[in-house]
Amino acid sequence: MLLFTAQIVAILSVLLLAVGYLKADFRASSARVFALIALCVALYLMSGMTGPNIADEYRLDFGRWQPLIDVTSSSISGLFMFYCFLIFQEARRFPLALAGAFLTQVCAEFVLMILASQTGIQGAGLISNIALVLDLMQLGFVVLAIYWTLSGWSADLVEDRRVFRWFVIGVQGALIFFVLFLENFVFDGGTQAFVRVQAITVYSIAALALGMLLVSMKFDYVSLSQAIRKVTEREVLPAESAKASFDIAVFNVAFREGYLYREAGLTIAVLATKLGLPEYKLRAFIHQELGFRNFNAMLHVYRVAEASEILADPEKVSLPVLTIALSVGYQSITPFNNAFRELKGMTPSEFRKQALG
């Protein structure tokens, strides 16, 4: 009975989260992907209610739809990867190779489950090897999602988003990875065949979903970001408050006219040291005064702006694009081309050709 109650709580919490996300910003792609993840998680939990360890009065039977339910559940990792990319890799195109790998994984899972349900052969020869590859692909998707989430943490200028990366997405990713690992590599037949393991999985999902639902309601006593801010609130020292005011004009003199953005591998911590500011103040200034949510996005704007001036200069028409990229702070041509295309809508070579007529 307790397990059944936890499953119901988890399903309702996940679905309510999806509804709230869609209501807040229905046009956002991330909201629609999250809604798909929530639906898949709900189906995964419902599929767990079909096992022999479930009491007869609570057991579900999906019949011929069971393979489709299982495939839907196996797509959670790929959708989670796509969701993290949309949230934390802003203004970038999702890699087509990964999209193709995700579609291949889902289609192959469906074919294998149909074959297994019709022939009863689940672990023989080629089928077993293909299933292993598909399981590894799912784990790879989750690892990529966690990497994208954590890799941009230091460059994120919005404090709530930095907290969101660590305490929500990180926990989600760890839980999905843990469940996948248990399902595919530890327990033969999945966690549904082991009552205690299934119970731990369901309780974890229920606790996470309910916690996220409470946090999304923005109650002060469950707001992680507010709690952390209160604990780590920094006392302003007299020497610090006595410093000269720092505004956009002062920043531009040092950063733009001083060409600080040209430094390869520049981080916000290094820039704060060069400007003589506490890092938290510089983060707040760039976000609130300059309007950037990401430090690297700001670097791209300044670097591409100077590169555009060089590319449009008739006297520098013979200067190679790679040399220009290196001179404005990029360490290779690929990130320069990507940033230029995102900001200008064309490649540097096309821009030069158009500017010079």
Domain boundary among 203, 228, 253: 228
Asked, for residue 307, whether it belongs to a domain, the answer is yes
Whether residues 248 and 223 share a domain: the answer is no
Average pLDDT, the chain: 78
Whether residues 285 and 351 share a domain: the answer is yes
Whether residues 245 and 344 share a domain: the answer is yes
Cβ atoms of residues 223 and 168 within 8 Å: no
Name residue, tokens 């289609």: 107
User: What integer pLDDT is reported at residue 194 of this predicted model?
Assistant: 55
User: What integer pLDDT is reported at residue 132 of this predicted model?
Assistant: 85
User: Residue 337 is encoded by which pair of tokens?
Assistant: 């081309």
User: Residue 153 is encoded by which pair of tokens?
Assistant: 């943490």
- Which domain range does residue 129 map to? 2-228
User: What integer pLDDT is reported at residue 196 of this predicted model?
Assistant: 66
Cβ atoms of residues 152 and 294 within 8 Å: yes
State yes or no: pLDDT of 104 exceeds 90.
Answer: yes
Beta bridge partners of 156: 294
Whether residues 276 and 224 share a domain: the answer is no
Arithmetic mean of pLDDT, 329-356: 91
Name the residue with higher pLDDT: 133 or 227.
133
Whether residues 139 and 246 share a domain: the answer is no
Q: What's the per-residue H, E or C state across the chain?
A: CHHHHHHHHHHHHHHHHHHHHHHHCCCCHHHHHHHHHHHHHHHHHHHHHHCCCCCCCCCCCCHHHHHHHHHHHHCHHHHHHHHHHHHHCCCCCCCHHHHHHHHHHHHHHHHHHHHHHHHCCCCCHHHHHHHHHHHHHHHHHHHHHHHHHHHCCCCECCHHHHHHHHHHHHHHHHHHHHHHHHHHHHCCCCHHHCHHHHHHHHHHHHHHHHHHHHHHCCCHHHCHHHHHHHHCCCCCCHHHHCCCCCCHHHHHHHHCCCCHHHCCCCCHHHHHHHHCCCHHHHHHHHHHCCCCCEHHHHHHHHHHHHHHHHHCCHHHCCCCHHHHHHHCCCCCHHHHHHHHHHHHCCCHHHHHHHHCC
Maximum Cα interatomic distance, the chain, rounded to a whole number of Å: 82
Whether residues 209 and 253 share a domain: the answer is no
Asked, for residue 283, whether it belongs to a domain, the answer is yes
Share above pLDDT 70 across residues of the chain, in percent, rounded to a whole number: 78
Task: Please give the angle made by the CA atoms of 83, 88 and 90, to the nearest 5 degrees.
Answer: 100
State yes or no: pLDDT of 67 exceeds 80.
Answer: no
Whether residues 243 and 297 share a domain: the answer is yes
State yes or no: pLDDT of 224 exceeds 50.
Answer: no
- For 56, phi then psi, to 5°, come to -55, -40
Domain boundary among 228, 249, 277: 228
Q: How confident is the model at residue 13 (pLDDT cuts 50, 70, 90)?
A: confident
Whether residues 93 and 169 share a domain: the answer is yes
User: What integer pLDDT is reported at residue 256 of this predicted model?
Assistant: 87
Number of domains in the chain: 2
Task: Provide the residue type at 225 as one letter.
Answer: S
Whether residues 223 and 251 share a domain: the answer is no
Whether residues 175 and 262 share a domain: the answer is no
User: What integer pLDDT is reported at residue 167 of this predicted model?
Assistant: 67
CATH number of the domain residue 160 falls in: 1.20.1070
- For 316, phi then psi, to 5°, come to -115, 25
State yes or no: pLDDT of 303 exceeds 90.
Answer: yes
Whether residues 164 and 222 share a domain: the answer is yes
Asked, for residue 325, whether it belongs to a domain, the answer is yes
State yes or no: pLDDT of 80 exceeds 70.
Answer: yes
User: What integer pLDDT is reported at residue 349 of this predicted model?
Assistant: 93
Name the residue with higher pLDDT: 198 or 180.
180
Distance, in Å, from the CA atom of 350 to the CA atom of 340, rounded to the nearest integer, reads 11
The model's pTM is 0.68
Asked, for residue 233, whether it belongs to a domain, the answer is no
User: What integer pLDDT is reported at residue 242 of this predicted model?
Assistant: 35
CATH number of the domain residue 296 falls in: 1.10.10.60
Domain boundary among 173, 201, 228: 228
Q: How many Cβ atoms from other residues are within 10 Å of residue 218's Cβ?
A: 10
Name the residue with higher pLDDT: 213 or 39.
39
Whether residues 42 and 184 share a domain: the answer is yes
Asked, for residue 187, whether it belongs to a domain, the answer is yes
User: What integer pLDDT is reported at residue 229 of this predicted model?
Assistant: 41
Name residue, tokens 């889902």: 106
Q: CA 41, 44, 45, 47: dihedral to nearest 10 degrees?
A: 160
Digit-coded pLDDT (tens) for 108-155: 888 887 776 665 555 556 777 888 888 899 999 999 988 888 877 777
State yes or no: pLDDT of 100 exceeds 90.
Answer: yes
Share above pLDDT 90 across residues of the chain, in percent, rounded to a whole number: 22
